Structure 1
Amino acid sequence: MDKEIFNKIESVKVWRENSLQTILKKYPKDGKGLYRHDDLVEEYNLLIRNGELKPSKTVEERIRMKPTRTHSGVATVTLLMKPFPCPGMCIFCPNEQDMPKSYISSEPGAQRAVSNDFDPYLQTYNRIKALQNIGHNTDKIELIILGGTCSFYPEKYLIWFVKRCFDAMNSFGDRSYEKDKMGIDGITWEDLYSAQRINETTICRNVGLVLETRPDYITKDEVIRLRKLGATKIQIGIQSLDDEILDLNMRGHHTKETKEAFNLLREAGFKIHAHWMPNLYGSTVKKDIEDYKKIWSKEYQPDELKIYPTSIIKNTLLEQYYLNGKYKPYSKEELLNLFVNILPKTPRYVRLTRIIRDIPSNEIIDGNKSTNFRQIAEKELIRLNKKIEDIRSREIKSKNITWDDLELETIKYDTPISKEYFISYKTKRDDKICSFLRLSIPNKEISKNNFMNDLIGSAIIREVHVYGNVVNIGKESLGESQHLGLGKKMIEIAEDISKKNKFKKISVISAIGTREYYKKRGFKDGDLYMNKDLN
């Protein structure tokens, strides 16, 4: 490949969607055909290693295939656990043979899991490799482990699955981890802890671990187990905050369990990522608008939210209700009306991670089939002069910034067990969020009797996040939010707030791969958290 391609890519002053295609046509592969993105990335990296080309941020951005994959500051790897029974009997839930409950084999993430035979090592390793091949940095990995209700899986399987994910990340520094030496039956907690310790300083570090479960399976013992696995965020299906609707849809729990689950998870410092489903059997647009308001009441207030409008999937009880005329999905106009009413009510401290589930249209009997409904709703909101102010809508992405561009914003809100602080740096000009920190100041009684020993008498940092393209660990960068020292500054602010609230200790629910970062800022290893004396 002619290195002149990269010089040409860098020299284009106004980069358009078709610019790369135009250049590649001038430099065909072997005189015919076009180079693929992974060809470009591989050759670019080779030329850099051989000293024939200087690293260029401009080139890297322009040859990366899907830049949004790492705009949030980390590279996300989603995995599915093997098919296993679920305690739920929800009428809307797909129950496809050979798939984890609630997942469909034709979904993109599910297809990757099936092609890797649900093997955690292969799913993790191959996904990281694929991201690297299209130009993404993979130093910082967030693992999202799905499969319905993780709390219902056998404990040894959970330990083994997570351990093999860590083996895969550790393999990028040492391929000796490739072979599964233990197997599920022989696995122990210490085997997992050993893999985690290695990951603290390896090339691909885990900066977040997400597990999925149900409200009625959250107990103190389960929360401790989730933390031992290394989890930092819990996805939890609330589906509705109306007990009558929950019963009609055979959900198997009530809002009482949801409130208790939120309190336990927040007491332990977890990020809470809720799933909510409008258009459930028995609901209406009016009821859903009221239900959405409840999500932001004192009892709940998740940090992130996925909105999954109900779809009628083959071979579900809801399909029978639909065929018998007992259930009718919202029309496109009704769904749009719902979104236009609820999305602007989303608090600024929340991230709307999804508004539509990525189910292939051929799997949906009736209901919304547009996977770009968020864009449709946003366009309508602009027309109505309304806007969404959630985190995702305000992310800085790849823009270059300086301290002079920024201002500090602190949002306070109360929960039944704590006072929460959402501390963020955002741009003065256009309100783009560059970094944020979630600080929990527990109520006196909770703090004194916290069931997590590390957290007794402690303020809790639940999340630190800096947006912008992923920068190699330890690598300097000019103007990128990842390297302005925003994280360090926000931690100092959190420490000051904790002191003002009479706390002598602050703890952080650190991911395995961020332990070194916190050690440099004075935190020390506890049992399951990292702690710092504020005296």
Structure 2
Amino acid sequence: MEHIIEQILEMLRTGDELDDRVLVKLIHAEARRAGGDKRAFAKRRLLPFYQHVKRDEPERWKGWGISPELEERLLKVLRMKPRRSASGVATITVITKPWPCSGSCLFCPSDIRMPKSYLADEPACARAEQACFDPYLQVSARLTALSQMGHATDKIELIVLGGTWSDYPRDYQVWFMTELFRALNDDAVAGVAANPLLRGFAEDAGHDSVRADGPSADASVPPGVARRREQLCRCGLMSAADEAHPRALVPPAARAAQHAIDEGRMSYNEAFRQVYGANDAWGDAAAWQRATFEQLEREQRRNETARHRVVGLVIETRPDAISPQALALIRRMGATKIQMGVQSVDQETLDANGRGIQVAQIGRAFSLLRLFGFKIHAHFMVNLLGATPEGDVLDYQRFATADAFQPDEVKLYPCALIASSRLSERYEDGSWRPYGEDELVDVLTRDVLATPAFTRVSRMIRDFSSKDIVAGNKKPNLRQMVEDRLRASNERVQEIRFREIATSEVSPGELRFQVVPYETSTTSERFLQWVTSEGRIAGFLRLSLPHDDAVRALVEELAGAAGQTGRRDRDAGAGGDEGISASWSKPMPVVAPGEAMIREVHVYGMAARVGEEGSAAQHHGLGRNLVERACEMAREAGFARINVISAVGTREYYRHLGFYDHGLYQQRRL
């Protein structure tokens, strides 16, 4: 290992070309020289080895003569999967526990081991099951993996997936959020080899973990992780003898229930009651999976200055679960972005696929989300039952451009048949068929071309394994196929992800400022962006200028709902959930007429540690400049104040820009 590091350093000092191809040659040559297995010298082992020497053998490390500038270049070479933090933040995805679902969509998979619509073989789901769906352990595992791959973890976006968030009990929601923040505040990073629970999380499925006799073998398990494992062992969800493979979470009845689901004899909700209803371990854990808002807010305050700060928090729900009251609650929990399953804005298609949602409900959800300041990340599917390629293109065009919708971000993916979904019956009787590859790529290509400059197409496939897909796209490189066709067409692509600078370096002097205005049903939107001469995007800001009548209607609706809640609480007396209802009764300013809203500020480039300078777009004042321009535009439009839907970990940043804490937001007078 040391010889490889020394060769890399020498090449960096002399300016020789050093890419992954050259690095592989160095590794193979060292394996032949040492007469060992080349896997023992794999790239993923180099960074943990370097970190070990720097931390535990300072004299040896000093002998390498590494300056700060040289170390930055070395880490860039050793970093695994650099794209993971190329958007400026490191992402941690966590999964909530299995729970009954309020929907019954035709295409939705039903894996009783997972929340509805998720499969146990998806990477994040496999990690969640291994951690007994515990939020603290999931965060600790991903922090460890990201750190070992060389990514900065000072700025974290938390993505909470698992179906419809509002379907879960409120006390579980508050506890789940509390534990996410607690794990980050505790700096719960462990040595992989020393922690069997985390061993499988070092890389995605299919990658080996760090060897037990490797450099991290002496690392200790974080105290918080040890305590949580003990809790899970006491209630029976985890075995002290086999912590890495918990089995009590899903009892033996799950296999029979899954067969019944696959054969159409049982619904997911019926199976849930059968499998988990009498599970003592599950019930015992649920008894302590609760927290108060005071506990959550205490962890949020700690996170404002923690080493791992939450700069974005995403939850997943359905359009029909969105109301002003639900959004006020979700916002208080710290969320800044909502993932929402839309799938289609054609009513016939929605009805044919059992969505149980009206297009008007989708439009109302978009309006409420914008007025509350949330970023809107919508899911949209092509090739649903009853759809046609041409109809899909028209449906998406309406979704992307009509005033009622216009999402900020989209997961645009094709419907795929999973055995446990009710779509199986339609496939067997011939009423649904998957598009052919060329047909599908053509639809997605045309959809991307219809995507405006203020929208980001984040994904084009689900993380389903090919063995789980009965019919439909199995190509993991579907997006690459679409982008290849886009490049061959020479047509202009405006969507954000296609234009991101990603890992590229950029000089602020090369950038120009642009404003993309557009109208929605309830707001006038301004998309401010820094772009290169080729149109590549280095940073952007979403500014909402709410329509006065829409804000007044929202305020009246919230006031009416608060009055009804107060009457219900008085009628119920002092009983109920003291940790939830009592703390939620405190007045929380939401929005008011005359207030503009900054919904998102994002500057691209490799995630750099808080307070550090970097060569990418971050830390060159681009974000501050965008905020000042947004404030000026809001003032010129006649607004007296401006809110920002800041994440917990960005509160300090906005305080330095003249914002003060104000209810669910931070606010600045104009």
- Report the TM range for the smaller structure's normalisation: over 0.9
Quick check: 2:140–2:188 contact (8 Å CA) kept in 1? no
Residue in structure 2 matched with residue 42 of structure 1 by the alignment: 48
Residue in structure 1 matched with residue 263 of structure 2 by the alignment: none
Question: In the alignment, is residue 326 of structure 1 matched against residue 431 of structure 2?
Answer: yes
Quick check: 1:157–1:184 contact (8 Å CA) kept in 2? no
Give the secondary structure class of the aligned counterpart of 1:165: helix
Give the fraction of aligned pairs with identical amino acids, expressed as a percent: 40
Residue in structure 2 matched with residue 132 of structure 1 by the alignment: 147
Structure 2 unaligned spans of 5+:
190-221, 232-284, 556-587
Residue in structure 2 matched with residue 15 of structure 1 by the alignment: 18
Question: In the alignment, is residue 459 of structure 1 matched against residue 589 of structure 2?
Answer: no
Residue in structure 2 matched with residue 122 of structure 1 by the alignment: 137
Gap change, CA 1:330 and 1:520, over 3 Å in 2: same
User: Offset of 1:453 from its aligned partner?
Assistant: 2.8
Question: In the alignment, is residue 292 of structure 1 matched against residue 295 of structure 2?
Answer: no
* CA distance in 1 between partners of 2:112 and 2:87 (Å): 35
Question: In the alignment, is residue 509 of structure 1 matched against residue 645 of structure 2?
Answer: yes
Quick check: 1:5–1:24 contact (8 Å CA) kept in 2? no
Residue in structure 1 matched with residue 331 of structure 2 by the alignment: 227
Gap change, CA 1:422 and 1:186, over 3 Å in 2: closer
After TM superposition, the structure 1 stretch with the greater mean CA deviation from structure 2, 259-268 or 50-59, is: 50-59
Question: In the alignment, is residue 75 of structure 1 matched against residue 180 of structure 2?
Answer: no
Quick check: 1:156–1:184 contact (8 Å CA) kept in 2? no
After TM superposition, the structure 1 stretch with the greater mean CA deviation from structure 2, 334-343 or 179-188, is: 179-188
Gap change, CA 1:263 and 1:282, over 3 Å in 2: same
Between structure 1 and structure 2, the one with the greater Rg is 2
Quick check: 1:77–1:127 contact (8 Å CA) kept in 2? yes
Structure 1 unaligned spans of 5+:
none
Residue in structure 1 matched with residue 485 of structure 2 by the alignment: 380
Give the secondary structure class of the aligned counterpart of 1:237: strand
After TM superposition, the structure 1 stretch with the greater mean CA deviation from structure 2, 451-460 or 525-534, is: 451-460
Gap change, CA 1:363 and 1:54, over 3 Å in 2: same
Quick check: 1:232–1:270 contact (8 Å CA) kept in 2? yes
* CA distance in 2 between partners of 1:122 and 1:474 (Å): 28
Question: In the alignment, is residue 105 of structure 1 matched against residue 120 of structure 2?
Answer: yes
* CA distance in 2 between partners of 1:279 and 1:471 (Å): 40
User: Offset of 1:9 from its aligned partner?
Assistant: 5.1
Q: In the TM superposition, what are the counterparts of 1:357-506 in structure 2 within 5 Å?
A: 357-428=462-533, 430-448=534-552, 450-451=554-555, 453-456=589-592, 457-477=594-614, 479-506=615-642
Residue in structure 2 matched with residue 54 of structure 1 by the alignment: 67
Question: In the alignment, is residue 246 of structure 1 matched against residue 346 of structure 2?
Answer: no
After TM superposition, the structure 1 stretch with the greater mean CA deviation from structure 2, 262-271 or 48-57, is: 48-57
* CA distance in 2 between partners of 1:9 and 1:463 (Å): 41
The partner residue of 1:262 within 356, 366, 369 is: 366
Q: How many positions carry a matched residue from both structures?
A: 532
The two structures have a TM-score, normalised by structure 2, of 0.77
User: Offset of 1:105 from its aligned partner?
Assistant: 0.8
* CA distance in 1 between partners of 2:290 and 2:394 (Å): 50
* CA distance in 2 between partners of 1:522 and 1:448 (Å): 26
* CA distance in 1 between partners of 2:108 and 2:290 (Å): 34
User: Offset of 1:80 from its aligned partner?
Assistant: 0.7
After TM superposition, the structure 1 stretch with the greater mean CA deviation from structure 2, 367-376 or 139-148, is: 367-376
| Partner AA of 2:630 in structure 1 | A
Question: In the alignment, is residue 195 of structure 1 matched against residue 299 of structure 2?
Answer: yes
| Partner AA of 2:155 in structure 1 | K
* CA distance in 2 between partners of 1:186 and 1:301 (Å): 37
After TM superposition, the structure 1 stretch with the greater mean CA deviation from structure 2, 202-211 or 309-318, is: 309-318
> 1:289-313 CA deviation, whole Å, 9 max, x = no partner?
1101111211100100001211111
The two structures have a TM-score, normalised by structure 1, of 0.95
Give the secondary structure class of the aligned counterpart of 1:340: helix
Following superposition, which runs of at least 4 residues in structure 1 exceed 6 angstroms of deviation?
Answer: none
User: Offset of 1:322 from its aligned partner?
Assistant: 0.6
User: Offset of 1:449 from its aligned partner?
Assistant: 5.3
* CA distance in 1 between partners of 2:330 and 2:11 (Å): 46
Residue in structure 1 matched with residue 252 of structure 2 by the alignment: none
Gap change, CA 1:500 and 1:488, over 3 Å in 2: same
Quick check: 1:340–1:380 contact (8 Å CA) kept in 2? yes
Question: In the alignment, is residue 315 of structure 1 matched against residue 319 of structure 2?
Answer: no
| Partner AA of 1:20 in structure 2 | L
User: Offset of 1:385 from its aligned partner?
Assistant: 2.2
Give the secondary structure class of the aligned counterpart of 2:529: strand
User: Offset of 1:533 from its aligned partner?
Assistant: 1.3
* CA distance in 2 between partners of 1:332 and 1:530 (Å): 48
The partner residue of 1:148 within 163, 185, 188 is: 163
Quick check: 2:85–2:607 contact (8 Å CA) kept in 1? yes
* CA distance in 2 between partners of 1:184 and 1:264 (Å): 33
User: Offset of 1:14 from its aligned partner?
Assistant: 2.3
Question: In the alignment, is residue 208 of structure 1 matched against residue 312 of structure 2?
Answer: yes
- The two structures, once aligned, show a CA RMSD in angstroms of 1.9
Question: In the alignment, is residue 528 of structure 1 matched against residue 664 of structure 2?
Answer: yes
* CA distance in 2 between partners of 1:318 and 1:449 (Å): 40
Quick check: 2:97–2:115 contact (8 Å CA) kept in 1? yes
User: Offset of 1:45 from its aligned partner?
Assistant: 3.1
> 1:123-177 CA deviation, whole Å, 9 max, x = no partner?
1110111011111111011000000101101101111111111111111179565
Quick check: 2:43–2:78 contact (8 Å CA) kept in 1? yes
User: Offset of 1:339 from its aligned partner?
Assistant: 1.8
Give the secondary structure class of the aligned counterpart of 2:41: coil
* CA distance in 2 between partners of 1:488 and 1:316 (Å): 48
